[in-house]
Amino acid sequence: MSLLVDIEASQQIDHYRIDAHVAESGMASIYRATDLRNGQQVALKVPHAAMEADPNLFDRFRREEEIGAALDHPNVMRTFPTPDRSRVYMVMEWVPGRLLRRILAEEGRLPQERAIAIALKILDALEYIHAHGVVHRDLKPENIMVDEHDQVKLIDFGIASKEGSRRLTYTGFSQALGTPDYISPEQVKGKRGDQRSDIYATGVILYEMLSGRTPFSGPSPLAVMNDRLINHPLPPREANPEISPQLQEVLYRALERDPRNRYASAREFARDLRNPEQVGVADRVELIDWRKRRSGRGRKALYYAGLALLPFLLFALMLLLAHRR
């Protein structure tokens, strides 16, 4: 089978009519289409031609289709089996709504109640896929669709792993790891990542929904990833004082650098989000470290301010001496 190129609206592929091009990724193009057999709207994911020449990427495309066909959950995008295809493509559930990334770009920081409600739906989906041996490994606002009622769908299982399946390799650094702002520390170190990596990414997403920013930053993707290996995140309550100490503790537990100290499951994470009054709050090392860094920055700022004022003080002293003469 050959790969599709230059697909246009109104073109027909088997029994699917292409209605519009809706998205583009490094591996494929996404189209909204209509199944002419029943009038149902679907999404067609068509791999780029370059994928045909890269067996690893093409295997990943097939793995994504296999994973999607095995999952059936209201918060996970479904993939429909299509045995008789004249060309290579994947048929997926059409999901109306907006990407969480677009919501954050348009609305900024979300109200706490709404952010937690969205996070709980993400965690519900994770509990399901993890129970079925699937780890998403690329959770980020770009891969979460939210409809007008704030119902959530996880999409794009392009670099997901499945228990018991052959391990796939990659040709690109970013494809192997995921997205710098949301990747777990263990993945930065080159490990494959497990369900706790998805927990970490969800913690970053919740932090971003609550504060309007991600917990780590830097001038380049490598700097962002390195930041999470050597520094603690900005305390959530510093980013948004409306965050309670209990909710801050929940975020810290999700963002633990060592996966052994992180929430072990989506269920544990969701339990604490639903019952913040049961979350104990300790004076964490992260907070002590932040207070020391802030105090150090304060002393440094005063030092440099003093240096900046020194010429003016000397000038004033010279004027005073001149007048006394």
Catalytic residue of the set 54, 72, 138, 283: 138
CATH fold of the domain at 12-93:
Phosphorylase Kinase; domain 1 (3.30.200)
Distance CA 126, CA 144 (A): 12
Helix (H, G, I), strand (E, B) or coil at 259: helix
Distance CA 210, CA 271 (A): 18
Please state, in angstroms and as integers, the Cα–Cα distance from residue 19 to each residue in 16, 34, 263, following that order.
9, 7, 43
Give pLDDT, residue 178.
Answer: 61
pLDDT tens string 233-288: 889 999 999 999 999 999 999 999 999 999 999 999 999 999 999 999 878 888 88
Q: What is the CA radius of gyration of the chain?
A: 25
Distance CA 159, CA 168 (A): 9
Q: How many CB atoms lie within 10 A of CB 168?
A: 16
The b/e string for 275-287 (b: 16+ C-beta within 10 A; e otherwise) is: eeeebeeeeeebb
Q: In whole angstroms, what separates CA 33 from the centre of its chain?
A: 27
In the block, tokens 């093409």 appear at 58
What residue spans define the domains of the chain? Answer: 12-93, 98-282, 292-325
Give pTM, 2 decimals.
Answer: 0.83
pLDDT tens string 204-231: 999 999 999 999 888 888 888 888 888 8
138 is catalytic: yes
Enumerate the β-bridge partners of residue 30: 23, 45
Distance CA 291, CA 298 (A): 10
Give pLDDT, residue 173.
Answer: 39
Q: Which residues of the chain have pLDDT under 50?
A: 1-5, 168-176, 298-303, 305
Alpha-helix runs per DSSP H in the chain? 55-70, 100-107, 112-131, 173-177, 185-188, 195-211, 221-230, 236-239, 245-254, 266-274, 285-324
Asked if the domains 12-93 and 98-282 are classified in one and the same CATH topology, the answer is no
CATH 1.10.510.10 fits 98-282, yes or no: yes
Distance CA 309, CA 315 (A): 10
